[in-house]
Amino acid sequence: MLGTSPARTFEHVAVLMGGPSLEREISLLSGKAVAAALKREGYRVSEIDVGRDIAEILGEVQPDVCFNALHGTFGEDGCMQGILEGLQIPYTHSGVLSSSLAMDKELAKVVLRSVGVPVAEAILVSRREALSNHVMAPPYVVKPVADGSSFGVVIVHEGAASPPASIGEGGDLDEVVMVERYVAGRELTCAVIGDYVSEVTEILPLKGLDFYDFEAKYAPGGSDHQLPANLSSDVYQLIRKYTLAAHNALGCRGVSRADFRFDESKGIDSALACLEVNTQPGMTETSLVPEFALYAGWSFDELVRFLVEDASCQRSKRGVVPEVG
């Protein structure tokens, strides 16, 4: 159980949503759901679609606290967090440093590897290089270095004669992308909410999808979530241990979610790979963190209230380090 909802110390909450990233539409859905929950909890709520004038608007609105429901570039990479730090407005989720580290997939791998969390082998190349020839033996994955919701992810399957043309779509050919060893197996995820390490969910993408892509994440019926996942106790607890280690190593606050692949054909020491850590998990009706909270006994409204009351400035300062229970 997550415990009782915290006492309310804030009255006026600005919910930050939308923004300029590719994940804008999902952020709007998250923000609307959060705003509705906060209103039900008795808060005064200002819904703000974030633009370049956000500092000026916040100066006019004068909220007690900001709920950061932004996803992707600007909202999840430390930029919005830096603005809120400068304005001295308490905010939810992780701080400047942890947000920027987790968003940069290459830097996140360095940090995770340093604390023993297994990650897939990867290299950085230009989109042009990735398109012109195999820079890694297939199968492998080509993905943006700093984007979420599986935008721009291309799987190059074993036996492919050459890289697919889709690698060149959606970006400048000189843009740096990550080429990552493809990890086969089951898709698993786990979260840290405050000082609670969640149970583990297995994600089963439907409709013949290759992986937990944008459609599987957000379209109704796009995936089946099995909570708790049907795993051996050793693997199950190892995922929870790695999730907590990743959360702490990156300095995350409030909530984070770690995604894994598990290849049952390998020994336990090499079967798991952490794909990424998400510091601003979705808060839509199909999102995973609300499911984790509900399984632990908290309603969606209680989860949102917790995140608001956990808000503070200077979020990069380390708080209490939770343990796997």
Q: What percent of the chain has pLDDT over 70?
A: 89
Q: Please, are residues 183 and 158 in contact by the beta-carbon 8 Å criterion?
A: no
Rounded to whole angstroms, the Cα distance separating 275 from 259 reads 5
Active-site residue numbers? 23, 149, 218, 257, 259, 276, 278, 282
CATH code for the domain in which residue 236 is found: 3.30.470.20
Q: Is residue 315 part of a domain?
A: no
pLDDT of residue 285: 74
Residue 325: its pLDDT value, please? Answer: 53
- The predicted structure's pLDDT at residue 152: 76
For residue range 274-325, what is the model confidence (pLDDT) as tens digits? 999 999 999 987 799 999 999 999 999 999 999 999 999 988 755 445 556 5
pLDDT bracket for residue 146 (50, 70, 90): confident
Global pTM reads 0.89
Domain boundary among 163, 181, 199: 181
Residues 282 and 214 reside in one and the same domain: yes
Kindly state whether residues 195 and 177 are assigned to the same domain.
no
**Mean pLDDT across the stretch 6-29?**
93
Q: For residues 87 and 96, what is the distance between their CA atoms, to the nearest angstrom?
A: 14
61 and 135, same structural domain? no
| Burial call 191-206: b when 16+ CB within 10 Å, e when fewer | bbbbebbbbbbbbebe
Number of domains in the chain: 3
Same domain, yes or no: 174 and 221? no
Mean pLDDT of the chain: 89
**212 and 279 part of one domain:** yes
Q: Does residue 197 sit in the same domain as residue 157?
A: no
Q: Would you say residue 70 lies in a domain?
A: yes
Report whether pLDDT(149) > 50.
Answer: no
**Which of the pair, 177 or 22, is modelled with greater confidence?**
177
Residues 105 and 218 in one domain: yes
Is residue 70 located within the same domain as residue 129? no
- CA separation, residue 202 to residues 48, 187, 206, 215, 260 (Å): 34, 6, 13, 17, 9
Structure confidence by residue, pLDDT tens digits, 32-68: 999 999 999 999 999 999 999 999 999 999 999 999 9
Which range marks the domain in which residue 141 is found?
Answer: 122-181
Q: What percent of the chain has pLDDT over 90?
A: 75
| Any domain includes 5 | no
